[in-house]
Amino acid sequence: MAERLIEANNLGMRYPTGRLALQSASLAVSAGEFAVILGANGSGKSTMLRIIACITKPSDGHVLVGGQDITGLTGRRLANARMALGMVFQNANLVKRRSVIANVVCGTLGRHRNMMTSLGMLPAEEFPFGMRCLERVGLTKFAYQRASTLSGGQAQRASIARALAQRPKALLADEPIASLDPEASEEVMRLLRRLAKDEGMAVLAVLHQPELARRYADRLLGLRQGVIAFADAPDCITDGEIDSLYQGFAGT
């Protein structure tokens, strides 16, 4: 079995209001695997991703990245551990006035903390690597354009290139295609799958599109009211099981 890059054990999350967002949820994503979390609004799927990304602290359980427990880490050690995780957001979140390549090279800032980069300079030695990241997402010819000139799908691919520039072992994507048209969505899903298959990354995405998830993912995790309802290969999961995630929500 391939190396387990992301491991979450018995995650629990109780908000101060008393609402239980997540209950003993566990998952593991290995190198070269593309896993997708599905679930209705409020099912806890974003909470789970935010805990794994160390943006939120869980009330219970542990997150292991590359075998290291990162739940208790703080400050600089947490920042270093997080570098292994690349984040992709719903919106590309590029700095629109800068060039595409500048945005990508920004992904390397974490490993170049010094006076010059703090004053707004980019590490010049990272530009060739930034170009290679752009090549991996197929945007080389847009490198010197302003980020504001990219289409929605291109911008999201550029943001993936920025996450790659961080040199992560795993990618976490929070509804990466929610604001894209169908064609761009397919493009981004293909890219995420290729990164898992060809480059051996662990990719974990939260999605709202069951049919896309079914076609591209290696494994589907269904969350229902904070509890993992199923976790299996797409072929082993029936449409009825997926529909059950959204029942009680469809009519509202």
Residues in the chain: 252
- Residue located via tokens 């040199």: 167
In this complex, which beta carbon is closest to another protein, that of residue 98 or of residue 214? Answer: 98
Say whether residue 118 binds another protein (CB under 8 A): yes
In this complex, which beta carbon is closest to another protein, that of residue 179 or of residue 209? Answer: 179
Edge to edge, the sheet with strand 202-206 lists: 85-88, 170-174, 202-206, 34-39, 219-224, 227-232
Smallest distance, another protein to C-beta of residue 209, A: 21
In this complex, which beta carbon is closest to another protein, that of residue 72 or of residue 120? Answer: 120
Cα(220)–Cα(61) distance, integer angstroms: 21
Task: Estimate to the nearest angstrom the gap between the alpha carbon of 15 and the chain centroid.
Answer: 23
Count of residues interacting with another protein (CB under 8 A): 34
N-terminal to C-terminal alpha carbon distance within the chain: 43
Say whether residue 75 binds another protein (CB under 8 A): no
Smallest distance, another protein to C-beta of residue 48, A: 16
Say whether residue 227 binds another protein (CB under 8 A): no
Q: Which of 15, 19, 79, 238 binds another protein (CB under 8 A)?
A: 79
In this complex, which beta carbon is closest to another protein, that of residue 156 or of residue 219? Answer: 156
Say whether residue 236 binds another protein (CB under 8 A): no
Q: Which of 13, 48, 65, 87 binds another protein (CB under 8 A)?
A: 87
Strand 34-39 and strand 85-88: the pairing is: unpaired
Binding mask 149-168 for another protein (x = CB under 8 A): ----------x--xx-xx--
Cα(209)–Cα(237) distance, integer angstroms: 15
Cβ neighbours of residue 207 under 8 Å, at least 6 residues apart? 36, 37, 38, 175, 176, 177, 213
Of 163, 148, 157, nearest to 180 by C-alpha is 157
Q: Which of 22, 51, 53, 206 binds another protein (CB under 8 A)?
A: 53
| Interface positions with another protein (CB under 8 A) | 53, 55, 79-80, 82-83, 86-87, 89, 91-98, 106-111, 113, 117-120, 122, 159, 162-163, 165-166
